[in-house]
Structure 1
Amino acid sequence: MHFALDAEQRAFADALHAMLTAADTPAVIRAWSRGDHAPGRALWSRLAGAGVFALAVPQGYGGLGLLPVDLAVAFVELGRHAVPGPLAETVGAAVLLGEPPLARRFLPGLAAGADLATVAAPGGYAVDGDAASLRLCPAPDGLYRAADPGPVRRSLDPARRLTRLSPAGDLLCRDAPYDRALAWIRLATAAQALGTGLALLDRTVAHVRRRTQFGVPIGSFQAVGHRLADAKTALEFARPLVFGAAVSMRPAEVAAAKLTACEAAYRTARTALHLHGAIGYTAEYDLSLWLTKARALHAAWGTPQQCRDLVLAAGL
């Protein structure tokens, strides 16, 4: 089956790409990693103005409707530019809080970008709980709004600041749609990973065209070309799975997309690091911002084995 974006979706992606290219996201990422959220919050407001977070909010609450394909389009661009913040988690929060009266209370702020939300993953840790104004902690007896987060814990990605949440705050509801929210979070994570991998590939292709050895660009070497071709093939195989999952929103298909996109991004990261050489290890070099993002997304909201088990159980 062939999945193709329509003209409006392609224009949306192009507009986000142009906005984020002009935003100097490496500087925003480094500030966020230091705990300085002001540049990231400013960028968050611009993304909200473009309608990114409204794509997971029903129209009656300030959103554009539940549009998972358009959301995937947006999150590929967010991943391509390694935008920091609890992006997928805010989407998940919008789904968790999608029924009245919680929807009336929380969703307009999420759609408008006034609030950042995070959701505790199994184990109690949440991304960017120190920056979020809304911290959700699912528990066996319901969905809680957590109080102040615990100390910041280091992540593989310095821009993904982990904090521990406890279900000791206000009980919001007894029966939140956690499985549905998890599917949306995984879809957003898969799209982010796809964008991250595409950015790593683009940066590596540009590098091997510039870098010379024995008087010729290293990109002309057959072994280098084969590594890049393998990375490109893996990413292009992941792309239709991501958008196909966005069409169906079946949990197993979303898990397959998450598995494939994250594996492709991780493989591309390894190729990028190998072909850049020692400079790829340095935190001062912008490539590292995408390398660490690919590593962190690889296991976020479902390890490869967990996703694989879900796919196999569904018989896909």
Structure 2
Amino acid sequence: MDFRLTEDQRDLRAGVRELLAGRYGREALRASLDTGTTVDRGLWRELGDAGFFALRLPEAEGGVGLGLPEAVLVFEEAGRALVPGPLVATHLAAGTVPGAAEGSAVVTAYDLADGLVAHLAESDAVLGADSGTPPPTGTATASVDPLTPLHRVAAAGVAGAAGVEGAAGTAPAPVYRREGALLTAALQLGSALRTVELAVAYAGEREQFGQPIGAFQAVKHLCAQMLVRAEVARTAVYAAAVTGVPAETAAAKLLADEAAVRNARDCLQVHGGMGFTWEADVHLHLKRAWVRAEQWCTAAECEELLAADLLAAELLTEDPPAADT
């Protein structure tokens, strides 16, 4: 199986990176922090016009007609740029919730544990809730990420949503939950790759004892470990996008979460005290990575899926008991 990107896929990724760099670069990110704008409706519509949310809808329905591998590339770039908002839920709602595909509607989902919903106040609909029902109300709660507001919704409301796995895990998990986990892993992958770039760039600029700190072995090792984590996660995410195997999606989410969190931490270490200041972007990647790690499929849930898959494979390969003679 060939996992190398095609020319069209490379062009798609480059086009999305260019779009986001022009529309949501560092200045726009900082403006969001200053104003507290967690969902920019203008940007949302521009993403809709560019086909971000309708990427996987058939062309006959007004979509782009591409697949999950292409969506992963697009979401990787969004994670790299730290674009805020319920991107995954709105993408999954395209073709189901009116306005989601075009970016005129913002859709969130019950994708966090403990009855927490991200961007609830800014959303027009909740993925999985009964159609025509307005978004439920919730109590605002503290969020480690300043651009991911959280609301706590009653556990009964979460568990009762149509087709959504509730806090108690009693309702069946639909296909879009698995796809949501993979797209969130792609966001984490983009963040992990971006923190590698930030660490390497800073290590080449910051001087100590008359030479760049990147010349020191300890810093080289940190950057190398960051790159290895990101590339391993990239391989897992791309493979899961092609195969669609649930266990591979769980593995991809685990690896991408680890890469995003640990790379951001190591990037902070490379930056030293500067990395902890509000002016640096490193802490924003770490805070977003922490939140995403709890979205769609937590580490514990991914581990349970992998354990069940391994157990099933072991049972299939066991030799049957010898017949009595």
Contact 1:143 1:173 in 2 (8 A): no
Which letter maps to 1:73?
L
Q: Which residue of 2 aligns with 1:78?
A: 78
How far apart in 1 are the matches of 2:44 and 2:135?
Answer: 23
Q: Which residue of 2 aligns with 1:183?
A: 178
Offset of residue 163 of structure 1: 1.8
In structure 2, relative to structure 1, the CA distance for the partners of 1:56 and 1:178 (3 Å cut) is farther
Q: Which moved more, 1:248-257 or 1:147-156?
A: 147-156
How far apart in 2 are the matches of 1:15 and 1:205?
Answer: 24
Unpaired runs of 5+ residues, structure 1, are none
Offset of residue 123 of structure 1: 3.0
- Aligned pairs for 1:138-149 within 5 A: 145-149=133-137
Aligned match for 1:312, one of 300, 307, 314: 307
Contact 1:146 1:168 in 2 (8 A): no
In structure 2, relative to structure 1, the CA distance for the partners of 1:48 and 1:181 (3 Å cut) is same
How far apart in 2 are the matches of 1:26 and 1:178?
Answer: 37
> Could you say which structure has the larger radius of gyration?
2
Aligned match for 1:220, one of 192, 197, 215: 215
- Are 1:150 and 2:138 matched, yes or no? yes
Partner deviation per Cα, 1:68-92 (whole Å, 9 max, x = no partner):
1110010000001010000112233
Tell me the TM-score normalised to structure 1 length: 0.86
Q: Which residue of 2 aligns with 1:131?
A: 122
In structure 2, relative to structure 1, the CA distance for the partners of 1:16 and 1:249 (3 Å cut) is same
Identity %: 36
SS of residue in 2 equivalent to 1:126: strand
Q: Which residue of 2 aligns with 1:203?
A: 198
How far apart in 1 are the matches of 2:162 and 2:3?
Answer: 38
More helix by share: 1
Q: Which residue of 2 aligns with 1:159?
A: 147
More strand by share: 1
Tell me the TM-score normalised to structure 2 length: 0.83
Q: Which residue of 1 aligns with 2:105?
A: 115
Q: Which moved more, 1:284-293 or 1:113-122?
A: 284-293
Offset of residue 110 of structure 1: 1.0
How far apart in 2 are the matches of 1:64 and 1:261?
Answer: 27
Q: Which residue of 1 aligns with 2:45?
A: 45
Q: Which moved more, 1:289-298 or 1:200-209?
A: 289-298
Q: How many residue pairs were aligned?
A: 301
Q: Which residue of 2 aligns with 1:233?
A: 228
Contact 1:3 1:244 in 2 (8 A): yes
In structure 2, relative to structure 1, the CA distance for the partners of 1:203 and 1:46 (3 Å cut) is same
In structure 2, relative to structure 1, the CA distance for the partners of 1:173 and 1:179 (3 Å cut) is closer
Q: Which moved more, 1:45-54 or 1:197-206?
A: 45-54
Contact 1:125 1:165 in 2 (8 A): yes
Unpaired runs of 5+ residues, structure 2, are 165-170, 314-325
Offset of residue 250 of structure 1: 2.0
